[in-house]
C-alpha cells in the first residue's frame, strides 16, 4: 500500500480539487494524508453564520475535520501560515501570510511530513494555482520544492482540464456550468490545456463522498452555491473526473487512470 500526501491552500480546497482521488485511495487501503497551508480565515461568510465569539478560522478548522472523516484521511496537519486573501488585496502583503512565506522554509515544513510518512505520492497545484489565487500559486512552488527535498518519487499537480470544461459547457449535461456566454472567459482562465494533462482519475464511484466533503464546508460552500446547486447530472459530469499533471512525465493518450498507474500497490 502507498502513502499519498495531498497539499492544499485552504480548508475546502481538498473537497473541490482532489476529494474523489483521496476517497478512492483510502477505500483501496492506501494511507491518505492532508496538509493545509492556512486555516482560511479570510474567506467570506454570511452575517450571523458564526456562533457568538467564534472565528472563521475556528469554524473552518472544524469543517475540515468533518471533511477528513468523510474522505478517510488518516492524518491532517496545518502548515501554520496565515491566509493571504484574494489576488490584489492588501492582505497579500502581510508578512505572516502564506504568499509572503519563504519558499525554502515552507518547503522544509512540508518535506518533514513527507519524510515522516515515507510518502510515495505528493499532490500540489499547477503553476497558476488553477486560477491565480496567491496561496494556490504558493502551494505549487512550495509543494514541488518539498517533493525535491524529500525525494518523493511521484509528484502531481492537481489541475483543471480547461478544454474538457469548455466542451462540457456546450452539452446538455454541462448546461449548469455556465449561465451565460459572457461567463466563458472565466472558464478560459481555469487550469491548463488538455494537452498538458497526464492523469485523469475517474471518481464517479465516490461522488457521494466528494459531495458530502463539499457540504462539510458549509461556511464557504452553501447549498445554493455553484458547486452544490447544479442538477445531479451536471454535478456528475463536472466533478466525476479529477485531473493531474505528473511532474517530469510526458502527457499520454489515453490518460493514465490512477496516481498509482505504474504499479505501486
Q: What is the pLDDT of residues 29-78, one digit of tens each?
A: 999 999 999 999 999 999 999 999 999 999 999 999 999 999 999 999 99
Which value, to the nearest 10 degrees, does the dihedral of the CA atoms of residues 167, 168, 173, 175 take? -100
Count Cβ neighbours within 10 Å for each residue of 211-241 and write b for 16 or more, e otherwise: bbbbbbbbbbbeeeeebeebeeebbebbbbb
**Could you give the percent of the chain with pLDDT greater than 70?**
93
Whether 211 is in a domain gets the answer: yes
| Whole-number pLDDT of residue 231 | 85
Whether residue 180 has pLDDT greater than 60: no
Q: Which residues constitute the domain of residue 84?
A: 3-246
Whether 162 is in a domain gets the answer: yes
Provide the CATH number for the domain around residue 233: 3.40.50.10320
* CB distance 28 to 56 below 8 Å: no
Whether 257 is in a domain gets the answer: no
Q: Distance between alpha carbon 77 and the CA centroid of its chain, in Å?
A: 15
Q: How many domains does the structure of the chain reveal?
A: 1
Q: How do residues 230-240 score in pLDDT, each as one tens digit?
A: 888 889 999 99
Average confidence (pLDDT) over 11-36: 98
| Whole-number pLDDT of residue 173 | 58
Residue 222's region, left for phi above 0, alpha for psi from -120 to 50, else beta, is beta
User: In the predicted model, what is the mean pLDDT of the chain?
Assistant: 93
Amino acid at each position: 500500500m502507498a502513502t499519498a500526501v495531498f497539499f492544499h491552500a485552504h480548508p475546502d480546497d481538498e473537497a473541490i480539487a482532489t476529494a474523489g482521488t483521496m476517497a478512492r485511495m483510502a477505500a483501496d487501503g492506501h494511507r491518505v494524508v492532508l496538509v493545509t497551508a492556512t486555516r482560511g480565515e479570510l474567506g467570506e461568510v454570511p452575517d450571523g453564520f458564526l456562533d457568538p465569539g467564534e472565528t472563521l478560522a475556528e469554524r473552518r478548522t472544524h469543517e475540515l475535520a468533518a471533511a477528513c472523516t468523510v474522505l478517510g484521511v488518516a492524518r491532517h496537519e496545518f502548515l501554520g501560515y496565515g491566509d493571504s486573501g484574494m489576488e490584489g488585496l492588501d492582505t497579500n502583503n502581510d508578512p505572516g501570510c502564506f504568499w509572503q512565506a519563504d519558499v525554502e522554509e515552507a518547503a522544509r515544513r512540508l518535506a518533514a511530513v513527507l519524510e515522516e510518512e515515507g510518502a510515495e505520492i505528493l499532490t500540489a497545484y499547477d503553476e497558476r494555482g488553477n486560477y491565480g489565487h496567491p496561496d494556490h500559486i504558493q502551494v505549487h512552488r512550495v509543494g514541488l520544492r518539498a517533493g525535491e527535498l524529500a525525494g518523493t518519487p511521484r509528484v502531481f499537480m492537481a489541475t483543471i482540464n480547461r478544454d474538457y470544461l469548455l466542451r462540457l459547457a456546450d452539452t446538455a449535461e454541462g448546461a449548469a456550468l455556465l449561465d451565460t456566454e459572457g461567463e466563458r472567459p472565466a472558464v478560459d482562465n481555469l487550469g491548463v490545456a488538455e494537452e498538458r494533462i497526464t492523469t485523469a482519475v475517474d471518481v464517479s464511484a465516490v461522488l457521494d463522498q466528494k459531495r458530502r466533503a463539499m457540504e462539510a464546508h458549509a461556511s464557504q460552500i452553501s447549498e445554493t452555491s455553484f458547486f452544490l446547486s447544479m442538477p445531479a447530472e451536471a454535478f456528475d459530469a463536472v466533478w466525476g473526473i479529477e485531473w493531474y499533471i505528473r511532474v517530469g512525465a510526458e502527457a499520454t493518450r489515453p490518460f493514465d487512470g490512477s496516481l498509482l498507474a505504474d504499479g505501486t500497490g
